[in-house]
Amino acid sequence: MKLGILETGEVHPDLKARHGDYPAMFRALLRAADPSLEFAVVRVVAGEMPASPGQADAWLVTGSRHGVYDDLPWIEPLKAFLRACVAARVPLVGICFGHQILAEALGGRAVKADQGWALGVQDYKLVARPAWMAGLPEHFAVRALHQDQVVDLPPDATVLARSAHCPYAALAYGDPDAPDAVSLQPHPEFGPEFMDELLALRAGTAFPVEAAAAARASLVRPVENTAWAQLIVDYLHRAAATRAAA
């Protein structure tokens, strides 16, 4: 399977040399679950856009420091491309910003939330469990770093998981047992060292020093990154097989 990574954000130069860019993080995460995966990167953040949904077997939208409401020339073309993928039945995964823009593209809304920042290891609860999510415990933790979140659902979205801070933390679009797309607000691709350095770098500028310190302290807690990697890979293979058989 060839997975196209739609790169919508850039890692700070001080961190990129040690931890790689967002596509590198996703390659490491997902290849651990399926070494046979092939990847192609499209730098949407630099103005690139795929020629068509069929340029890859599936697509993943990365996180970004940008908001879906920002006046950037690539935001609306990206939304149109995501809708084209759904129409063509090419499976999609969105993470953090990708979660938000996928929801927006399909009729929902994401904003800078009144709850403020979610930082560090956050706790989530499954509220729906399609068969392809059988490997995830009902209560799970993932590293998060976001101020924006989805506040209005698309018409055909099913909430899969929520937290006290983020009621729409994971979504399936279409039939939840065979979704057109899935998305997740937190970051299963973030390792603890990268997140610790990122929190330290942005403390006192992007978010308060005290909040960053509490988030850094939470990074000793275990997270379900491996389980989410397997879920994503399983979903993509199932979706691609269903499309091929249609």
- Reported as a single tens digit per residue, the pLDDT across 72-96 is 999 999 999 999 999 999 999 999 9
CA distance 75 to 78: 5
What is the side-by-side order of every strand in the sheet holding 92-95?
A: 38-42, 2-6, 58-61, 92-95, 181-184, 170-173, 157-162, 118-126, 139-146
Strand 170-173 and strand 157-162: the pairing is antiparallel
- Reported as a single tens digit per residue, the pLDDT across 25-52 is 999 999 999 999 999 999 999 999 999 9
- Give all domains of the chain, ordered by start, each with its CATH number: 2-245 (3.40.50.880)
Find the mean pLDDT for residues 1-18.
Answer: 96
Q: Give the pLDDT score at 15.
A: 95
DSSP states of 144-169 as a string? Answer: EEESEEEEE--TTEEEEEE-SS-TTS
- Reported as a single tens digit per residue, the pLDDT across 146-203 is 999 999 999 999 999 999 999 999 999 999 999 999 999 999 999 999 999 999 999 9
Q: Give the pLDDT score at 242.
A: 78
CB contact at 8 A, 104 and 79: yes
CB contact at 8 A, 25 and 32: no
- Reported as a single tens digit per residue, the pLDDT across 145-159 is 999 999 999 999 999
Find the mean pLDDT for residues 123-127.
Answer: 98
Whether 219 shows a pLDDT value over 80: the answer reads: yes
Q: Give the pLDDT score at 246.
A: 66
List, in sequence order, the alpha helices (H) in the chain: 13-19, 22-33, 75-87, 97-105, 192-202, 209-218, 225-245
Average pLDDT of the residues of the chain? 96
pTM greater than the 0.85 cutoff: yes
CA distance 54 to 56: 5
Residue 104 buriedness (CB in 10 A; 0-12 / 13-18 / 19+): buried
